[in-house]
C-alpha cells in the first residue's frame, strides 16, 4: 500500500499543481500572452501537434546521435586514460576545459566551422554530454578492487587483458550512471545548439519552434513545446534507467 502511494504521489502532486495553476489563471484573469493555463497549452498542442511532433523528432534525432557519440568517445578516452598515465595527463585537462566552457558561447563558431547543420548540432550536444561518461567510466576503471588486480597479475595477465576482462566489466555501473546523466545533457546541448542555429535562420527542432512562438507572442504554443521537451527529458532518463537495471541484472546473472 505504501509503495503504491509512493508511486502515485508524483502524479497526484502534479495534478493538484496543474489544478491550482489553472484555477489561479481563471481567477486572476491572466492574459494568455502572460501566462497560459494548462487547458490553453493542451489546446495549443492539439491545434499544432503535427509541427510540434516533427520538431520533437528532429531534436531527439540530434540528442540520440550525440548520446551515441558521447558514449563511444567517453569510453574510448577513459580506456586510454586507464591504460597510460601519459594519456591521462594529456586528455584530462582538455576534457575539463570543454566541460566548463559554455556551449552557447562556442556554438556559433562550431556552426560556422562545421558548415553542416545537423552535424554541427550533434557536435555541440556531444561537447555537453560526453564528460559524465568519461569521468564516471574513468572512476570505475580506477576503482577495481586491488585484490582482483593482484590475482590477474599473479596469473600472468597482460595490461590489456586486465583492462578488458576485469577493469572494464567492473566499471559498468559507473558507465551506466554516467550514460544516464549524459542522456539528459545531450538533450540540453541539442536545444541550446538549436537556439543558436534558429537565431541564424536554421529551422529545425523544438528550440526553433519556441523562438518562433515567442516572436509571434504565441505563448501557449511556446509552453506546449516546453512541455514536450520536459516530457522528452523525463522519458530519456527513465529509459536509460531501465536499460541500466537490465544490464546490471544481466551481468549479475552471468
Domain-embedded: residue 7: no
What total of structural domains would you count in the chain?
A: 1
What DSSP line would sit under 193-222, residue for residue? Answer: HHHHHHHTT---HHHHHHHHHHHTT-HHHH
Domain-located, residue 71:
yes
Q: Considering the domain boundaries, does residue 161 fall inside one? A: yes
Model pLDDT for residues 199-254, shown as the tens digit of each residue? 545 567 888 888 888 888 888 999 999 999 999 999 999 999 999 888 888 877 66
**Count, residues in the chain:** 254
Give pLDDT, residue 198: 65
Question: What's the pLDDT tens digit per position in 110-119?
Answer: 888 888 888 8
In b/e form, how buried is each residue of 79-93, taking b as 16+ CB within 10 angstroms? bebbbeeeebeebee
Residue 213 lies in a domain: yes
Q: Label residue 201 left, alpha or beta by phi (over 0 means left) and psi (-120 to 50 means alpha).
A: left
Q: Is residue 196 part of a domain?
A: yes
Residue 246 lies in a domain: yes
Give the pLDDT confidence score for residue 254 in this predicted structure: 61
In a domain, residue 158? The reply is: yes
Full residue range of the structural domain in which residue 111 is found: 38-253
pLDDT of residue 203: 60
Q: What is the maximal distance between C-alpha atoms in the chain?
A: 77
Low-confidence ranges of the chain (pLDDT < 70): 1-2, 198-203, 253-254
CATH number for 53: 1.10.3720.10
Mapped onto helix, strand or coil, the DSSP state of residue 36 is coil
pLDDT of residue 72: 93
pLDDT at 17: 82
- Residue 12 maps to a domain: no
Amino acid at each position: 500500500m505504501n509503495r503504491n502511494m509512493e508511486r502515485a504521489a508524483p502524479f497526484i502532486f502534479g495534478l493538484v499543481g496543474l489544478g491550482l495553476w489553472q484555477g489561479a489563471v481563471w481567477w486572476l484573469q491572466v492574459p494568455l500572452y502572460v501566462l497560459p493555463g494548462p487547458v490553453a497549452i493542451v489546446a495549443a498542442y492539439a491545434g499544432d501537434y503535427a509541427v510540434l511532433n516533427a520538431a520533437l523528432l528532429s531534436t531527439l534525432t540530434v540528442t540520440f546521435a550525440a548520446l551515441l557519440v558521447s558514449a563511444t568517445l567517453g569510453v574510448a578516452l577513459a580506456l586510454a586514460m586507464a591504460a597510460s598515465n601519459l594519456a591521462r595527463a594529456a586528455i584530462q585537462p582538455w576534457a575539463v576545459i570543454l566541460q566548463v566552457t559554455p556551449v552557447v558561447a562556442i556554438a556559433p563558431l562550431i556552426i560556422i566551422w562545421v558548415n553542416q547543420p545537423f552535424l554541427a548540432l550533434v557536435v555541440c550536444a556531444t561537447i555537453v554530454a560526453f564528460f559524465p561518461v568519461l569521468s564516471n567510466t574513468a572512476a570505475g576503471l580506477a576503482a577495481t578492487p586491488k585484490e582482483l588486480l593482484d590475482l590477474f597479475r599473479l596469473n600472468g595477465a597482460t595490461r590489456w587483458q586486465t583492462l578488458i576482462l576485469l577493469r572494464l566489466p567492473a566499471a559498468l555501473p559507473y558507465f551506466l550512471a554516467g550514460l544516464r546523466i549524459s542522456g539528459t545533457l545531450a538533450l540540453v546541448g541539442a536545444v541550446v545548439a538549436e537556439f543558436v542555429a534558429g537565431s541564424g535562420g536554421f529551422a529545425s527542432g523544438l528550440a526553433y519552434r519556441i523562438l518562433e512562438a515567442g516572436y509571434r507572442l504565441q505563448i501557449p504554443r511556446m509552453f506546449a513545446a516546453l512541455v514536450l521537451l520536459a516530457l522528452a527529458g523525463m522519458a530519456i532518463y527513465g529509459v536509460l534507467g531501465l536499460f541500466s537495471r537490465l544490464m546490471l541484472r544481466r551481468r549479475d546473472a552471468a
